[in-house]
Amino acid sequence: MVRGHSISILGTLLGILLIPATAFRSGLNVVSGGEFPTPCPRTCFDAGPDHTGWDVYASLAELRQCQQSVVFDFAIYNPPTVNPQHIRACSVWGGQLFNEAPSPIQVSRRAANISNKTTVPSDVELAWWGDSPVSDSEDSGAANAASGLRNAGQYLRAASKQGKKTIFLVSAGKSVVGVYVGQRISNVDVADRLIPHLVGHILPRGLQDAAAVQLCGAGRAAEETLGIMASTDITKVQSALQNWTSGSCAQEQTGSSTLEGVELDILQPRTSAFRFSNSSENSPMRRYNPRPRQISKRDQCTTITVVQGDLCGTLAAKCGISDADFLKWNPKPDLCPNLVIDQEVCCSPGDLPNRRKQQNSDGSCATYDTVPDDNCSGISIRHGLTLDELERFNENTWGWNGCEGLWPGVRICVSEGDRPLPLPVPNAVCGPQMPDSEPPEKGKDLALMNPCPLNTCCNIWGQCGTTADYCTEATGTRQELAKVQNRCISNCGNKIIMGEKPSNFIKLGYFEAFNLERECLNMDASQVPSDYTHVHFAFVDLTPDYEVNIGDPLVKFQFEQFKNIPSAKRIAAFGGWAFSTEPASYKILRLGTEPENAEKLASNIARFIIDNGLDGVDIDWEYPGGPDLPEDDPGKASEGGYYLDFLKLLKQKLPGKSVSIAAPASYWYLRQFPLKKISEVVDYIVYMTYDLHGQWDHGNKWSTPGCPIGNCLRSHVNKTETLNTLSMITKAGVPSSKIIVGVSSYGRSFHMAAAGCTGVDCTYTGSRIVSDARPGRCTGTGGYLANAEINEILKRGGNVKSWIDEESDSNVMVYDEVEWVAWMDEDTKTRRKQIHFGGTCDWAVDLQNFVEPPSYNTAEDIPGAAGPIDWTGIKLNLYRTGAPACDLERRTVRSAYDSYKTIGQDVQRRSHEFMTIFSPKEESLGALSMVLDLLTIPVAGGGAMIFKNIFGSIVADDVLTDVAKDMTNAMISVGFSAAKSTDPASRVAGQEMAFNSIIDSTIELWEIQAASVLKKLFSGDDDSIRALTELTKDGRLTPGSRNGTVKDSDVSSKIAEEFAQEEIGKRAFYAVAIPTVWNETGQFPAVLDAGDCRGENAIPDIVSKDGSNYSYSCYDRRAYFLVSAPGTSEGWRCTPGEVKTIDPCDTQPFRLPRGINQLDGTKWGTVTHHDIIAGAVETYKKAGNRNGGNVEPNPNDKETFDALYDRDIRAPGIIKIPVCPAEQGHRNWVNGAVAKKEKFYPCN
């Protein structure tokens, strides 16, 4: 449910409204703790190096939607473009790949598990493909490739060898790295002795097509082969992996050379049948003789296994026996010409062991877990089976696609017996692969395990949703089913479940009680059309102690009018979006419904309904258990149950009256509701099937199907999507007769990216939080037009086109070439009635038409009025509480600006010192950029703190701190719009100035700004009336009044002097000036995210050890570093050599912004590097976790004002420094010549 003044900030948290309906495919990671779903898998740090603990994706296309570096594997013999795949992945964040590098103790333990090893010279080849020179102005791909190789080295150091081959890939930017290390080669050796050579080759030359190091061919077995390739072509990498797993080399290189002096450890596990010797063979990898195992049965021989490249002669040599003995103990006539990989042969007298496994005692089959380079032939041979037997044993095995589509990470049967429970998938949230699942009863369908909340569809990847990606049922052969990428396994289909026809159709309308706050398009409650059966009064507030409250004079007046509506059911609505999400009020319903408070809250609401003679109550809590509302304090799982119990209690206290709730048309939020049980308590549910799309979709590829960036022109009342959400709520068990379907009397509008392009694939401009659409003349919000405003544009004519979009069943209008809006006229709303649910709910009746004021009895209804008056006069008289203290208001504004003039003069006196410390030069700076940044200080970060102090002094009573906050909000909100009209371009545009001259210009502009603020404050428009009322009501600025302590007419000058002394304004000034100077002098500051806070030495190579004292901060449980990226990094300094316990590729530490060591909180306005990091992160979060987005410290945004008031310079929009993962920042720094062309470097 929207609430008038909050409509402009809906995008803050509604950007993922439909994510669950369009985005919970395989691999989407729903992070616990209240974060939004992300296209990236869990971090490798959290998932660990074992591939079985990684998240699963169905295609490389899905995996590529993650913008972070990713470590992954897949079936290397399956074409990478053929879907579905079974890709296991973890992401890299902050530079530290896994939980910890092996300690010296762990290294020694690993060595102790190796009974024999030898270090041998190795003819490792360095090869490259492509030889086109790369200019300095081109992106060579070197930084991405080097980053991926460094990640590969970290993985090799962390992964346990345990006698197994190592196969994996790394995706870094556009580069892909593929790694194969045979069973008998040390992973750590490869990381320390080979990867540095490859990085050293790529960095100075660029990646070109591909580059690799490989040890392969010349009859070498696969277990003694290794290869590492970096390329931008995954098919080239896949081909190389296929070659290496068979012992052969990647071919057709442009050039190659042999790495000199490379030695590698050749390993032999203690449990093997072999030991090394000093005997010499042609290949340096053949220096061993057998040590026969103890024969467990008299007739069994000791064995070895055939690998790629083996012949009978090489096998005899491995056994340490003569060719004649080999043939005698392996007498099969056609053995030598028909050797098969994984086949066992005898090295001693006796029969080959029987490798067939028996089923388990409980009747289940013996199992095997597949790996990336498996094939059915090898699996069958290793387990003594025929291919037909392997296929037969797995006809009903979960994840078995047959030998043609064998996936890694599938638990299959290698004997007779019942099928096993499949391996868990860490990111599965439904189905049999959900972690910690218990085996079902014998014979129970595995697909029915762990159903989704609300009976939504569960697909084969263990993800819940409501669209075709989850709900499509598939039939056919196993081979046919394997080709269906996201087929449904339980609760399939999205058919609406229709119940009995309602006895009476409800036509419900919400009345925005706050509509008189608009400059126009006002309505009185008495003017609600008479054809509505139910009218909801939006909204009645609650206090933190659960008392009912209607404080605003306009709302209070409208409530009295509302009570007298004659024909409709009069319902008081509590809550709404703003009340449920804003810091000052979001806890009221959350805590009020808890068992210890529910009685009081229910009693107070019931008493209010009864005392005012109303017909019912509507609770619009948005939303219980919300996993991201707010982000820093998400809802809890228990809230849904508490909400149900509260509604039961409220219903008991209101016999004969209706109780209803509002519910979101979003699985993401609705899944926390015990919806079926709630529907058994309430009389009806208002289902908010509007705002399905909006400006907040921009940048969110999950919100808009078929739209890669999310910014496609889509209707917010799309009928197809509406029907899909109706399927969800009816499948959840809510009777259709109790569902009131939402319709809207407003449109969502967009500024088209291209004139004439109006289809669903056409795009709009702006960002997630900034709409370029033209605001309505009354609603005043970009991206939102009331139906009355739309009809006014249509009647105006001219360059206007409108039509019915049949696919979405929406009205569409384009005007002035590039202004696009979708809405519902009355005919469209009527068609929604034909869906045959319990009724329709219209938000909102006051948005439909322009109406004239009713004929009030002005003497009684509106105190102070003396005859017919217009809407402005009505509002002015309702607000009037006494004569404003105009003189003190003027002096208050002047005192604040005088303090800034004093601050500016003080800054000028210290300008040489300031520039010496924070700038590498005292040269001219870009004047316009810096003045624009400094200009809003008096009405943003600094203004909030200064007026907070002023009004806190005037309103001295501690009980009245909220009053001081309201007064501060009123003053700086009026000031912000006036300040924005101050145009510095005519003074400084295109100029470069010395720092002192910039401050001179800023002070002059502050003077102009002060005059504009005063002019605006006393202009008499709606904004000024509201501000003056807030400042003066209850005698707040009247000396000697009950709420005031003002006794000295010179108080303003004393306050200004106090502010200058306390450096309140200086703090805001330097918080803006220091980052601006860093930016203007080519220091390229950035805040780098190094992952979870793990102590001061979390990521030691981001900055120097000493530098971390000045640049590191743990904020909101994340480790951040404030750094500078001038010039171009030397990249990774890799030193091939001995096996070490640290990474041999050391990252060049970032530099620090000049003067950062001076930010210790004792000077420069007490600004610290912790403040700058926190402010930059808050700006980044406000922009939707991205850089840019035109975030301003706009006090008219309630959330931003609260941050300004409570956090001063840390509020979003004050400090603008780019934020990104440390690894991304370093990659761009390495590629500085190209990357600096982009905005937000090094976080572009």
Q: Could you give the residue ranges of the DSSP H alpha helices within 17-59?
A: 19-22, 44-47
Catalytic residue among 622, 1178, 1192, 1199: 622
Strands (E), 182-283: 210-215, 226-231, 255-258, 263-269, 274-276
Q: From CA 482, how far away is CA 489, in angstroms rounded?
A: 13
Please return the burial class of 117, using the count of CB atoms within 10 Å of its CB with bins 0-12, 13-18 and 19+: middle
Q: Which helix (H) or strand (E) holds 551?
A: none
Residue whose token pair is 């390329």: 231
Query: Quick one: the chain helix, strand, coil %, rounded to 5?
Result: 35, 15, 45
Q: From CA 1197, how far away is CA 1213, in angstroms rounded?
A: 12
Pairing verdict, β 506-512 and 534-542: parallel
The crossing angle, in degrees rounded to 10, of helices 553-562 and 871-879 is 110
Q: Which helix (H) or strand (E) holds 387?
A: helix 387-393
Q: Are 1208 and 1111 in contact (CB under 8 A)?
A: no
Tokens matching residue 144:
């991405």
Task: Go through the chain and tell me how many residues it has.
Answer: 1244
Those residues with Cβ within 8 angstroms of residue 79's Cβ, 6 or more apart along the chain or in another chain: none
CA distances from 606 to 225, 513, 548, 650, 659 (A): 77, 20, 10, 7, 10
Our CA angle for 419, 424, 427, nearest 5°, is 145
Tell me if residue 6 falls in helix, strand or coil. Answer: helix
Please confirm, yes or no, whether 622 is among the known catalytic residues. Answer: yes
Tell me if residue 197 falls in helix, strand or coil. Answer: helix
Residue 13's closest CA among 704, 669, 714, 589?
A: 669
Q: From CA 127, how far away is CA 124, in angstroms rounded?
A: 10
CA distances from 165 to 303, 749, 1118, 1164, 1184 (A): 20, 56, 36, 58, 42
Q: Are 320 and 348 in contact (CB under 8 A)?
A: no
Which residues are registered as beta bridge partners of 1085? 1124
User: Which letter does DSSP use for residue 186 in this model?
Assistant: -
Residue 807's closest CA among 738, 761, 754?
A: 761
> Exposure string (b/e) for 999-1020, b if CB count within 10 Å is 16 or more?
bebbbebbebbbebbbebbeee
Q: Which helix (H) or strand (E) holds 1113?
A: strand 1112-1115
Q: Are 457 and 465 in contact (CB under 8 A)?
A: yes
Q: Could you give the residue ranges of the DSSP H alpha helices within 653-734?
A: 667-670, 675-679, 719-731
User: Which letter does DSSP use for residue 294 in this model?
Assistant: P
Tell me if residue 194 falls in helix, strand or coil. Answer: helix
* Dihedral sign for Cα atoms in the order 283, 287, 293, 299: positive
Those residues with Cβ within 8 angstroms of residue 359's Cβ, 6 or more apart along the chain or in another chain: 365, 366, 415, 416, 417, 418
User: Which letter does DSSP use for residue 454 in this model?
Assistant: G
Residue whose token pair is 């126009």: 520
Active site residues: 622
